[in-house]
Amino acid sequence: MYMKGDSMNGILLLKILDRIHPGCVNWMKVKVAPKNKWDYVLNCNLVIGIISKEPYDLKTTNIGGVDIAEGKLKAILSVAGQIQRYFMIKTLKELKFADKYVTDDQIRDWSNSITLQSPYRFSQPIKKWNERSLSTGLYFFDLLAVLDTTKTLIDPLQVYTDFTLNEDMGIDEGVLIEKKISNISAVITLTRKLGGILFVHIQDLIEAKSQGTLTIVATILAVGLRMGNFSRSFEQRMSTYPKDSYQSRYTKTLTEKLEITQERPRDSTNSRNDGNPIINIDNDNDKKEAEE
């Protein structure tokens, strides 16, 4: 999505929130067809109000709905980043077996074993979540191919597999990026078509950022488990592991951060005079977390 333009009226953010936790949005209060700035502000205030309460309970200092409605990119990215981080925690918890969390390394090993079952074998197993090969989308196609038992979901002829630079033939970096965008857009569409709740930025996948790649793989694995297409032998092996030793570092650190945020007392001095709820911008910390 185009983050700034699509978020200003609040509708897209409200749909995302309601998709993650159905029923959290009171659509009777939403201006579904906003016509002016006041409708935008009303919807965006609803967004801030929802994420400031349970089940989200995210930070609510220093940004109001009016900031989103005015298209302030820093504010929009702060809100979207917190929602994405919350969603990633929720997705990873869906992969909890026998009351034990799986680590990112275990998810990697599990997904690697599944891609080897792909009839197309577009990709090779990965070692890290930020490998450049993930930016092509081929690894995700292999995961989806295992779910495609009818062999009708993926048309291999529509998948770009050659990412070799050849300036003599006019294949430059720009052409390769277009191929990556096409592949990854198709992966996101297919994942959602299968019932996956996916909130991830295409740019994060194009740049092979670990937060984005881990999120989409975890989502596909969760869909596969619900469909019964992926082997549950991994779950059986997990039952023999110590309960606390294998909690995902992403789930652990981010969950702790959310818990700290929940316990932090509200600062009444930071509230706006117009009564709009506000949210804190902390992009420097977010960048450090993404790099880690």
* All domains in the chain, ordered by first residue: 3-88+258-291 (1.10.418.10), 102-246 (1.10.418.10)
pLDDT at 231: 55
pLDDT at 2: 54
Q: How far apart (Å, rounded) are the C-alpha atoms in residues 2 and 97?
A: 36
Structure confidence by residue, pLDDT tens digits, 253-270: 434 444 444 444 444 344
Confidence of residue 165 (pLDDT cuts 50, 70, 90): confident
Whether the CA torsion 70, 76, 78, 79 is positive or negative: it is positive
- Residue 86 tokens read as 């919350």
pLDDT at 291: 52
Residue linked to tokens 């706006």:
272
The pLDDT of residue 284 is above 70: no
pLDDT at 38: 94
Structure confidence by residue, pLDDT tens digits, 64-89: 999 999 988 888 888 888 888 788 77
Residue linked to tokens 């299968």:
194
How many Cβ atoms from other residues are within 10 Å of residue 160's Cβ? 19
The pLDDT of residue 120 is above 90: yes
pLDDT at 4: 63
Q: For the whole model, what pTM was predicted?
A: 0.66
- DSSP string of 231-287? -SHHHHHHTTS-TTTT--HHHHHHHHHHHHHHHSPP-GGG--TT--------HHHHH
- DSSP secondary structure letter of residue 258: H
Q: Are 9 and 43 in contact (CB under 8 A)?
A: yes
φ and ψ at residue 141, rounded to 5 degrees: -60, -40
Q: How far apart (Å, rounded) are the C-alpha atoms in residues 111 and 219?
A: 11
Share of the chain above pLDDT 70, in %: 74
72: nearest Cα among 290, 257, 278, 291: 278
Q: Are 105 and 36 in contact (CB under 8 A)?
A: no
pLDDT at 248: 39
Contacts 24+ apart (CB under 8 A), 238-244: 238/97, 238/98, 238/100, 238/102, 238/106, 239/97, 239/98, 239/100, 241/100, 243/99, 243/100
pLDDT at 286: 47
Residue linked to tokens 């937060």:
211
Q: How far apart (Å, rounded) are the C-alpha atoms in residues 237 and 231?
A: 11
How many Cβ atoms from other residues are within 10 Å of residue 98's Cβ? 12
The pLDDT of residue 243 is above 60: no
Question: Across residues 99-111, what is the average pLDDT?
Answer: 81
How many Cβ atoms from other residues are within 10 Å of residue 219's Cβ? 28
How many Cβ atoms from other residues are within 10 Å of residue 170's Cβ? 8
Q: Average pLDDT over the chain, rounded to whole? A: 78
